[in-house]
Amino acid sequence: MKLTSVSSTDANQDDFVMKMFNYKEQGYFVDLGSGAPFNASNTSRLEELGWTGICIDVTQNRDYRLRRCNFFATDALKVDYNNLFEKCGAPEVIDFLSLDIDEYSTELLKLMPFDKYKFKIITIEHDAYLRDHQFRIDQREVLTNQGYTLLCADIWPDSLRKLNLPGGPFEDWWVNEEFFDAKFLDTIRCENIYGSEVIKKFGFSSKEIM
């Protein structure tokens, strides 16, 4: 399949996921706090590679009809995720989980059914540059205890840099090492850099000009 767009995400999260999977096709994602269906979406470009999944946002948007994902306009904190994943036919190993509901992302993380489902990659907003660092501390405790590895810590948003606005660490990017080569992960591991700088660590891919 051919990519026809460029990333509009805050920190190139979609490019990060695609490169981590070497532009895998037919993947599955869960995007909580998915926002607008296309602009600044962490998952819309994944659908160009045949991915599908679940999107949840509290705001209704009719343009989600143009997406492949199952979209639910609801409060992500009021969802039974075991039931939802089963209803949507989600695989027990999910490629990508994106959590982005501002100061409630930590609370949302604690609702994930880690006992039944595994996630290969997780990006989660902690907004440490804006909010109490306790959000970040709590997230890291939960995910570390669940066996996840913090691959890229304290990512900065390129979107603010482009607008010449002050920024700072706002997200952590995690992986389940069970699904990746350890030497490969060592080449990507980083902290306190912009998302675009993480992408440079992967080098050039011919997929980008197809």
Q: Is residue 2 part of a domain?
A: no
Q: Which range of residues forms the domain containing residue 57?
A: 13-202
Q: Is residue 4 part of a domain?
A: no
pLDDT digits (tens, 9 = 90+) for 131-140: 889 999 999 9
pLDDT digits (tens, 9 = 90+) for 29-40: 999 999 999 999
Q: Is residue 95 part of a domain?
A: yes
Q: Is residue 6 part of a domain?
A: no
Q: Which helix (H) or strand (E) holds 154?
A: strand 149-155
- As for how many domains the chain has, the answer is 1
Whether the predicted pLDDT of 78 surpasses 50: yes
Q: Is residue 3 part of a domain?
A: no
pLDDT digits (tens, 9 = 90+) for 20-29: 999 999 999 9
CATH value at residue 75: 3.40.50.150
Taking Cα atoms as reference points, which of 77, 92, 99 lies closest to residue 173? 99
pLDDT digits (tens, 9 = 90+) for 138-174: 999 999 999 999 999 999 999 888 777 778 999 999 9
Decide if 105 contacts 135 (C-beta within 8 A).
yes
Distance CA 207, CA 138 (A): 37
